[in-house]
Amino acid sequence: MENPCIICVAITGSLPTKANNPAVPVTVAEQVESTQEAFEAGATICHAHVRNDDETPSADPEKFARLKEGLEEHCPGMVIQFSTGGRSGAGKARGGMLSLAPDMASLSVGSNNFPTRVYENPPELVDWLASEMLEYGVKPEVEAFDLSHILKAADMHKKGQIKDTPYVQFVMGVKNAMPVDREVFDFYIKTVKRLFGEDAAWCAAGIGAQQVVLNEWAISSGGHART
């Protein structure tokens, strides 16, 4: 295939617990095992969060280090993407693991509402996370929770804050942020092509029940899919 479909497996996430779903991998050992299954089934990117022992979200660099080590051993060649999302910590703690130089890391470039709160990504923190990624050669995946985040990625690229063509993930279906909407989805693609070129890669993630819808839209429109 000229443009093979990239499957990005999101293990664990930041919220679900064993109480919600006993199959959720929580310890690093469980995460490595679960990712290996997905890797053998064809997933090529692993989007990873880590957890504390009580299953709450964590940004502990030590845990991320062990996860990276396990994945490198059991999933050779798999692209490792660390989450710097706001549920795992506050401020610079969210980027403490970037010095481990994973292949990729998620990068929120703006703020927006979440179901019950503000998802805060102040400009100063965004700039710092991007500079850490530059320093350690980590490719950002820009999380677009809204349209302006795609334009902000273009601006950051122009200013040298993002080195290569930005790789954007459209996130849809989060309550109080962007809902799952086909016309918006198509305009997102149009905007990515306009700003980053016809061949720019992008991916999409739907939250909860919307995951399958977004996967279908993404794959049939030339994007990459996230589980």
178 binds its own copies (CB under 8 A): yes
Nearer to Zn ion, 154 or 203 (CB): 203
CA distances from 51 to 13, 28, 59, 122, 149 (A): 9, 8, 8, 24, 27
Nearer to its own copies, 119 or 167 (CB): 119
CB 9 within 8 A of CB 225: no
Q: In the complex, what is the shortest distance from the CB of residue 87 to its own copies, in angstroms, rounded to a whole number?
A: 16
Q: CA 88 to CA 18: how far, in whole Å?
A: 17
Candidates 181, 212, 216, 221: give the one binding its own copies (CB under 8 A).
181
DSSP letter for each residue of 136-169: TTPEEEEEESSHHHHHHHHHHHHTTSS-SS-EEE
Contact string (CB under 8 A) for its own copies, positions 134-173, x = contact: -----------xxxx--xx--x------------------
8 binds Zn ion (CB under 5 A): yes
| Residue 169 contacts which entry, its own copies, Zn ion, none (Cβ below 5-8 A, type-dependent) | Zn ion
Nearer to its own copies, 71 or 174 (CB): 174
131 binds its own copies (CB under 8 A): no
Four-CA torsion 40, 199, 180, 209, nearest 10 degrees: -10
Nearer to Zn ion, 159 or 210 (CB): 210
Candidates 12, 35, 81, 121: give the one binding its own copies (CB under 8 A).
121
Q: In the complex, what is the shortest distance from the CB of residue 81 to Zn ion, in angstroms, rounded to a whole number?
A: 7
CA distances from 186 to 8, 25, 133, 146, 183 (A): 21, 34, 29, 13, 5
**105: closest CA among 134, 77, 76, 127?**
134
3-class secondary structure, 80: strand
Segment 39 to 68, residues that bind Zn ion, using CB under 5 A: none
120 binds its own copies (CB under 8 A): yes
Helix (H) or strand (E) holding 28: helix 28-40
Binding site for Zn ion (CB under 5 A): 8, 83, 169, 203, 226
